[in-house]
Structure 1
């Protein structure tokens, strides 16, 4: 005679199998402190990995799933709503220290889906982000006088950027000239005439500032690891007839390279001459010597 298992035992067995499988998805709350901390750290790592654009800020944790591997590793599948900040990635600032773009800055919103391992420290496995500008009609409805986005390839945007960069090179205290890397944002606002606003990145070249009759397009970029880079905001205002009403304005934040690495060729004498250590307990113990008894690694 067949034996029937009570319904509640069937349900309990299903839950146990679901939670202890080698790749089971277990719901985790978006308000959970551990989950939120993981999302914040994940976004920090996404920003660090990205090479172009603006730093993302966490607007909302939309969803999370927890995957438990057979070996005990826990993985979060995170879906995060993000907003662009005013900080360019060149600044390498923490996203919590950056101000988001409001409706006067042509805001950008989007979603990042990421997979992270909850090891110590958190390990970013993969991510995919999709972003877009807020539709112009939505901005005009709330703020009719706010700047509207302009196509980056528009000739007037290229000219505004050129004039702003020219003004920066004229006013800067650097001995070398800077050249354009990328135009990153552009907008237009009607004042007494059209006012154009641009944001762009720059990098130091090998051309000296005081060189007469210099064509900036012929200047070569300095090595990316040792060159100064910057992020600039520029503007240019004209009247209805195209006459310049105000000289190009420009503000720029130029970042010094953190450091550099010099690679030396192999040498018969590989003893490094340096100042003797003076602090207590220094030099510290070596971790490795590679068995090279004749060398002071």
Structure 2
């Protein structure tokens, strides 16, 4: 068994040594694609806010002079946001990209990586922006549209969703709202609002009575954080017949309209993740700090201006995703 492990490690080391001494052939080169994939995992792991990025394609690559069997690659990568938040620490290949029903976000990352016996991210600079609403509507007229995170109805939807979660969860402590990360609106049987938000465990135990959980303080030390999706439907008068039918389905009796609305209007789903102590995070971090930033820009105007052409031969690479947008190519 030890012999097999030694052989496997030797083969991996030999692979990266070959990469560091070879001349790359462009954005389709397997070594370049591999470097981009690993670098993106390291970028996502280093970030504290936002959604995990997925690799759409390698747009450009520059191979700097080699020193002591080490290669410096400068990559430009096209990325798309996924539905996974960075607190999940998931690998980007396990996450689905946001489609037109969830307001896609696209961008690019300029990255420097060193390749020797492994791939090491040195620095990154990313810019991202939402797909313009006009592009989404032209491709999917009935899809939800983005809402301002500062809109009072968005805060109300998040708080109602969190209240429902605190009532229904089996966790021993209450959770509080940290921040809202996304909001959309769609007409169903009335204006329907969909929110995404981050919550954190507090010191307030659910066994305590007369606790105003909105005033509880986030728990220090090891604690749980959650990424939640919530929705709130406001019903118009024409929806009462539908509500009556739904109410009968809920209880098997003629439940009151208002009670049915209360049960149906708010839904929530949260994924919880244990957060390490600061010293544990420092112990797990490598000694070399990654320098990086993510800049969020407003949605572009249509038509989107042409990009600077790639400088490397055989670039850019092929896209991994097609979101079906007609007026913008990501």
Same structural fold, with TM-score higher than 0.5 when normalized by the shorter chain = yes
**Is the CA contact 2:223–2:276 (under 8 Å) kept in the aligned structure 1?**
no
Which residue matches 2:289?
Answer: none
More helix by share: 2
Shift of 1:71: 4.3
Matched, 1:229 2:225: yes
For each residue in 1:190-211, what CA deviation from the matched residue of structure 2 results, as whole angstroms up to 9, or x when unmatched? 1111000001111100001133
* Aligned with 1:193 (options 178, 183, 190): 190
Matched, 1:92 2:89: yes
Moved more, 48-57 or 115-124: 115-124
Matched, 1:247 2:265: yes
**Is the CA contact 1:27–1:64 (under 8 Å) kept in the aligned structure 2?**
no
Helix, strand or coil: the match of 2:129? Answer: strand
**Is the CA contact 1:28–1:65 (under 8 Å) kept in the aligned structure 2?**
no
Matched, 1:137 2:155: no
Structure with bigger RCO (C-alpha 8 Å, 6+ apart): 2
**Is the CA contact 1:197–1:233 (under 8 Å) kept in the aligned structure 2?**
yes
Helix, strand or coil: the match of 1:177? Answer: strand
Q: In 1, Cα distance between the equivalents of 2:125 and 2:117?
A: 22
Q: In 1, Cα distance between the equivalents of 2:127 and 2:208?
A: 44
Shift of 1:68: 1.2
Q: After superposition, where does 1:242-281 map in structure 2 within 5 Å?
A: 246-257=264-275
**Is the CA contact 2:234–2:265 (under 8 Å) kept in the aligned structure 1?**
no
Q: In 1, Cα distance between the equivalents of 2:86 and 2:45?
A: 8
* Aligned with 2:148 (options 148, 151, 174): 151
Which residue matches 2:28?
Answer: 31
Matched, 1:238 2:256: no
Q: In 2, Cα distance between the equivalents of 1:209 and 1:180?
A: 16
**Is the CA contact 2:202–2:219 (under 8 Å) kept in the aligned structure 1?**
yes
Shift of 1:175: 1.1
* Structure 1 alignment gaps of length 5 or more: 1-25, 263-297
Helix, strand or coil: the match of 1:228? Answer: strand
After TM superposition, the runs of 4+ consecutive aligned structure 1 residues lying more than 6 A away are: 258-262
Shift of 1:256: 3.2
Shift of 1:184: 0.7
Q: In 2, Cα distance between the equivalents of 1:121 and 1:27?
A: 16
Which residue matches 1:202?
Answer: 199
- Evaluate the alpha carbon distance shift between residue 135 and residue 260 of structure 1 in structure 2; reply closer, same or farther with a 3 A threshold: closer
Which residue matches 2:65?
Answer: 68
Q: In 1, Cα distance between the equivalents of 2:160 and 2:64?
A: 53
RMSD: 2.2
Shift of 1:120: 2.5
Matched, 1:125 2:122: yes
Q: Determine which structure has more spread, i.e. the larger CA radius of gyration.
A: 1
Which residue matches 2:38?
Answer: 41
* Structure 2 alignment gaps of length 5 or more: 1-22, 238-257, 281-330
Matched, 1:104 2:95: no
Which residue matches 2:179?
Answer: 182
Shift of 1:72: 4.5
- Evaluate the alpha carbon distance shift between residue 205 and residue 103 of structure 1 in structure 2; reply closer, same or farther with a 3 A threshold: same
